């Protein structure tokens, strides 16, 4: 497997295009997977119009497949991106939409119902407490407690654990980190599994490229490298090369479109959000 880490510099648009460009010479097709929050947008989940247009042009380019990955629920992710023809992997790939069809991976199909029951119970329990926010993240639920003191944070962790135990499902774990308490399935799933699924569904002659922006993307970096692809970190370490923020991601997408012979020929259209 080729390793871009042997090159003298590991960051910036010029280096990244050099790394990917060298691989494109031998690739008939490209599978581009990109993390939504961080790699494509840095503005609280709002995709810049220029990035949306670039994704659209890239998908319209011959021999290109585009997949957007997120821990957001699939319905939420699709509404934020607003494009019909690309592939979506919501809830870190647990929920997928491609070619007009939506699927939930059988490994976690039943667990989604469990997390939704817990979400409802958590919302009811903390609806009136100031400073707390219960976030539905698709296949997990997070209680954000912000600036609560250490004693209250510890109490919250115990309360959430007791609630999950009361629901009675041993397939859920409670994880306490970064001013938040996360309830997630015990099944083994991460973005590495997501990428493996995307690659397995693509023909053998695809070059996989993954743009990620954080710790949760490290398994995806490793997975794409196992398939002789290229991992690209956006303001993060652990990948073969690095881009400096979402603005360079857009520039990279533009370069990739042009390198594959795509034309900036699409009319500026209004992209309607998807309905649930």
Query: How does pLDDT run across 26-61, given as a tens digit for each residue?
Result: 898 999 999 999 999 986 789 999 999 999 999 999
pLDDT in tens, 179-223: 889 898 877 788 999 999 999 988 888 999 999 998 889 999 999
For position 29, which CATH number holds?
Answer: 3.40.50.1000
The mean pLDDT of the chain is 86
Shared domain check, 168 and 42? no
pLDDT digits (tens, 9 = 90+) for 84-96: 999 999 988 888 9
Q: Are residues 99 and 207 in the same domain?
A: yes
Give the domain-ending residue among 148, 165, 185. Answer: 185
At 155, which CATH number? 3.30.70.1020
70 & 136 share domain: no
Residue 168 counted as domain residue: yes
Q: Which of 112, 107, 124, 106 is nearest to 172 (CA)?
A: 112
Residue 56's H or E segment, with its range, is: helix 49-59
Residue 276 pLDDT level (bands cut at 50, 70, 90): very low
Q: Which helix (H) or strand (E) holds 69?
A: strand 64-69
CA atoms of 55 and 19, how far apart (whole Å): 20
What is the pLDDT averaged over residues 139-159?
88
One domain, residues 44 and 168? no
Same domain, residue pair 221 and 239: yes
Dihedral of CA atoms 68, 70, 73, 74 in degrees, nearest 10, equals 10
| CA distance readout (Å), 275 to 70, 77, 87, 93, 117 | 18, 11, 16, 20, 23
> Where are the strands (E) in 115-255, listed by range?
133-136, 141-144, 172-177, 180-185, 206-212, 230-234, 241-243
Alpha-carbon distance 257 to 215, whole Å? Answer: 28
* Span 107-118, average pLDDT: 80
Whether residue 254 sits in one domain with residue 124: no
- Which pLDDT score, from 0 to 100, does residue 8 have? 37
Residues 251 and 137 in one domain: no
With respect to residue 267, please indicate whether it lies within any of the assigned structural domains: no
Q: pLDDT-derived band of residue 123, with 50, 70 and 90 as boundaries?
A: very high
**Contact in structure between 105 and 93 (CB atoms under 8 Å):** yes
Domain count for the chain:
2
In a domain, 3, yes or no: no
Clarify whether residues 58 and 178 are in a common domain. no
In a shared domain, residues 176 and 211: no
Task: State the residue range of the domain holding 128.
Answer: 108-185
Position 254 in a domain: yes
Check whether residue 253 and residue 233 sit in a common domain: yes
Q: Up-side HSE of residue 227: CA atoms within 13 Å toward CB?
A: 29
In terms of C-beta density within 10 A (0-12 exposed, 13-18 middle, 19 or more buried), how is residue 55 classed? Answer: buried
Paired tokens of 223: 């997975």
Q: How far apart are CA 132 and CA 67, in angstroms?
A: 33
Q: Reply yes or no on whether the pLDDT at 109 is more than 90.
A: no
- Tokens 């919501």 sit on residue: 90
Q: Which residue among 160, 185, 210 closes a domain?
A: 185
Q: What is the pLDDT of residue 10?
A: 63
Host H or E run for residue 51: helix 49-59
So what's the pLDDT on residue 44?
A: 73
Kindly state whether residue 181 falls inside one of the protein's structural domains.
yes
Give yes or no for a contact between 120 and 134, defined as CB atoms under 8 angstroms apart.
no
Mean pLDDT value across residues 150-157:
90
Lowest mean pLDDT among 99-103, 153-157, 164-168: 164-168
Is the same domain home to 29 and 122? no
Beta strands, E only, 189-238: 206-212, 230-234
What percent of the chain lies above the pLDDT cut of 70? 89
Alpha helices in 168-190 (DSSP H): none
Judgement on whether residues 14 and 97 belong to the same structural domain of the protein: yes
């Amino acid at each position: 497997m080729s390793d871009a880490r042997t090159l003298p510099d590991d960051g910036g648009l010029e280096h990244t295009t050099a790394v990917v460009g060298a691989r494109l010479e031998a690739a008939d097709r490209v599978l581009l997977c990109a993390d939504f929050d961080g790699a494509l947008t840095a503005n609280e989940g709002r995709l810049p119009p220029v990035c949306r247009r670039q994704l659209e042009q890239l998908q319209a380019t011959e021999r290109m497949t585009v997949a957007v990955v997120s821990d957001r629920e699939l319905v939420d992710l699709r509404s934020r991106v607003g494009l019909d023809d690309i592939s979506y992997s919501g809830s870190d790939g647990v929920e997928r939409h491609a070619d007009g069809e939506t699927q939930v991976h059988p490994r976690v199909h039943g667990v989604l119902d469990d997390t939704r029951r817990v979400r409802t119970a958590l919302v009811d329990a903390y609806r009136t407490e100031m400073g707390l926010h219960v976030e539905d993240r698709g296949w997990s639920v997070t209680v954000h407690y912000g600036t609560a003191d250490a004693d209250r944070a510890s109490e919250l962790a115990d309360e959430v654990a007791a609630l999950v135990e009361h629901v009675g499902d041993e397939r859920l774990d409670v994880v306490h980190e970064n001013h938040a308490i996360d309830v997630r399935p015990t099944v083994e799933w991460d973005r590495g599994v997501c990428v493996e699924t995307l690659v397995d569904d693509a023909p053998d002659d695809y070059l996989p490229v993954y743009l990620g922006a954080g710790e949760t993307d490290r398994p995806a970096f490793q997975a794409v490298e196992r398939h002789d692809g290229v991992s690209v970190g956006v303001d993060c370490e652990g990948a073969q090369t690095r881009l400096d923020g979402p603005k360079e991601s857009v520039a990279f997408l533009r370069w990739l479109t042009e390198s594959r012979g795509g034309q900036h020929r699409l009319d500026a259209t209004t992209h309607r959000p998807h309905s649930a």
